[in-house]
Amino acid sequence: MRAAAVQEIGLDPLQFGIESTEFLACALRRACGYFCPCSQLTLIRSVVDPLESLTDDFHQLQAKAKETLELLVSVGDILEIKHPSHSGDSGSIVLFAAPPAFVRRKSTTTFFIGIAGEEVLPLPDELNEYISYTGHLRTIEQREIPNCESKLRDHGLTEIRLDAWLDLPRKEPPLVHLERARTRLLSQEGGGLLPGLRVLNPLLPVDFYPGRWEDASETHSGLYVARRPQSYGADLWCVVDLDNGHTRHCLDLPLPRSRWRGCDEAWRLQAAIDHERGNPQVFRVREDKDQTTILDFFSPAPMWAHRRWVTVGQCMPPSRCLFSFSFPTDEANEELDFITDSMWLCQRS
């Protein structure tokens, strides 16, 4: 049954299992073609609920599906759109399928984004057989197909320029970024007690992200990245100014007219906070075989960072970290500069 489920989705059951990122990514894309627009919860349930009898750890499968969905959003397969609420909340996140498109790397590799209904990609079998599935990515080598770009356009795929798709933020010192956020925050009204508020504690170790979250209490004073519940939908990302657990100021993320998600703004702000406290977030460098370098990360990275890395590297199974990427060694130095200069991380010795 497990092999049949993998084969049904179009993958080789000898290579992939139902717990693999490859399988879950394909299943989520197909479900998106059926169910979207819908909520995150609806999409995840549509994929994992039918698999409950096929897995030994259903809760782990749910968590893996959620992580995979976040990756699909980060790369641009699925779009998150905030719908306004009439109940006073900030609104709920609704998922939409992005239109099918392709992006060319600087190498000869092209990767696909978007979904075309139930077909997922509107390509004939003679092109589909050249598509490779690695993690949440779908790629094709142009050199294997004569006139590859023309054929992709002929079948309705739009080419997106690499620089437009990356959409990187401007480069700036972490203190400038932090002070701009602080100024915006202090212009907001106070909130008193916010029930259910959880904060990301900068005093806790930077190499274990889940363990940094805790309920807001009288021990918390100052500026914190936080999440607060709302009546409907996922908890909202925000930045708060606390005085012994009481909220003096609260600023919801993303900011108005921002082109990034709330989590992207929150994670970058936390990196600035950690850096300015003298305890920057860390990454690890490992030299691998075949002239490749693996970078291990211990904190989440914004969508624009993931997009940059998939253009030159590959997402790898994590090794005692949150996520990993593999790069050709001759490309790694440029990525190290990007991580330290634009993301304010420090290499772990």
In DSSP notation, 226-287 reads EEE--SSSSPEEEEEEEETTEEEEEEEESPTT-SS-HHHHHHHHHHHHHHHTT---EEEEEE
Instruction: State mean pLDDT over 199-209.
Output: 96
Asked if 58 and 65 touch (Cβ cutoff 8 Å), the reply is: no
Q: On the CB side of 187, how many CA atoms lie within 13 Å of its CA?
A: 7
Q: Which tokens go with 179?
A: 């002070």
What φ, ψ does residue 8 adopt, rounded to 5°?
-60, -35
Closest CA to 204 of 213, 215, 212: 212
pLDDT at 91 over 70: no
- The pLDDT tens digits for 11-20 are 999 999 999 9
What are the b/e assignments for 194-226, b being 16+ CB within 10 Å? beebbbbbbeeebbebeebeeebeeebeebbbb
Rg, Å, the chain Cα set:
21
Q: What is the pTM of this model?
A: 0.74
Instruction: State mean pLDDT over 312-333.
Output: 87
Angle (deg, nearest 10), helices 58-75 and 303-312? 80
- The pLDDT tens digits for 94-149 are 999 999 999 987 767 888 999 987 777 888 888 888 998 988 889 898 888 888 88
Asked if 279 and 285 touch (Cβ cutoff 8 Å), the reply is: no
Q: 197 falls in which pLDDT band (50, 70, 90)?
A: very high
Segment among 38-52, 247-261, 270-284 with least mean pLDDT: 247-261
